[in-house]
Amino acid sequence: MPLRVLILGGTTEASALARQIAGDARLAPVLSLAGRTTNPQPQPIPTRTGGFGGIEGLVRFLGDDKVDAVVDATHPYADQMSAHAVAACRETGVPLASLVRPEWQRHADDRWHVVADAEAAARALGAEPRRVFLSLGRQEVHVFASAPQHHYLARLIERPEQTKLPPDLRLLQARGPFDRADEERLLRAERIDVVVSKNAGGTATYAKIEAARALGLPVVMIARPHKPAGVAMADVDACVAWLHGLAPRGV
């Protein structure tokens, strides 16, 4: 029997892993998405959407679906899901690997102001009105309603669900990856004074950081939370090798 693999997804790495193991006779994967995006990109392996119901629900799923291994390829800021995965796999004895995307590193000419969360980022913008580029996902745009004096341009895949949003807000719906030259043009055209971003790592959205550096713009950078992990994997190839090491031979 092939190895039954649960991939906790929502990142480019999860999609890359799904593409790489699709059709692999040694593996029987299913990709789990949180459901925060209503029109996710099509995947080449079976996909489920929605939460599990906490640690207990994930424990039940692992047992009911006879899962042999779990890969946590969630977003670097999805710390709760990662904590649930660690706890559930520890309880069930199911091996857990975590694809750990490296953080972006500050360059000497970067103007970063590192803060703990979105609330601190809103405060860091200051009292004077500024033109702010928000690039942190739709879940936390509403936080900036606490700083209504600024003009906000928020780039999102989908509109925020919250009703209380900053009064001077324009939404730009787009999905990465983004090009540095295009990012520079956008920041110039919108006369942006400051960028607010999470330290997501990876290449898909790094161009905005390069563009801010080139234009001398400050970046309010929301630091990563502590993210519990299983066996740390640096990339998709390492993760595939780990799965093959668990898979039965001769399948």
23 HSE (CA, 13 A, CB side): 3
Cα 231 to its chain centre, rounded Å, is 19
- Average pLDDT estimate for 210-234: 96
Q: What's the pTM value of the predicted model, to 2 decimals?
A: 0.86
Regarding the domain delimited by 111-222, which CATH topology (the fold level of the hierarchy) does it fall under?
Answer: Rossmann fold (3.40.50)
Summarised one tens digit per residue, pLDDT across range 6-46 is: 999 988 899 999 999 999 999 999 999 986 666 667 899 99
Q: What digits encode the pLDDT tens for the residues 196-218?
A: 999 999 888 999 999 999 999 99
Rounded Cα–Cα distance for residues 70 and 63 (Å): 12
Superfamily of domain 3-102+226-246: NAD(P)-binding Rossmann-like Domain (3.40.50.720)
Check for a shared fold between 3-102+226-246 and 111-222: yes
Annotated domain spans of the chain? 3-102+226-246, 111-222
Q: At what angle do helices 236-246 and 12-21 cross, to 10 degrees?
A: 50
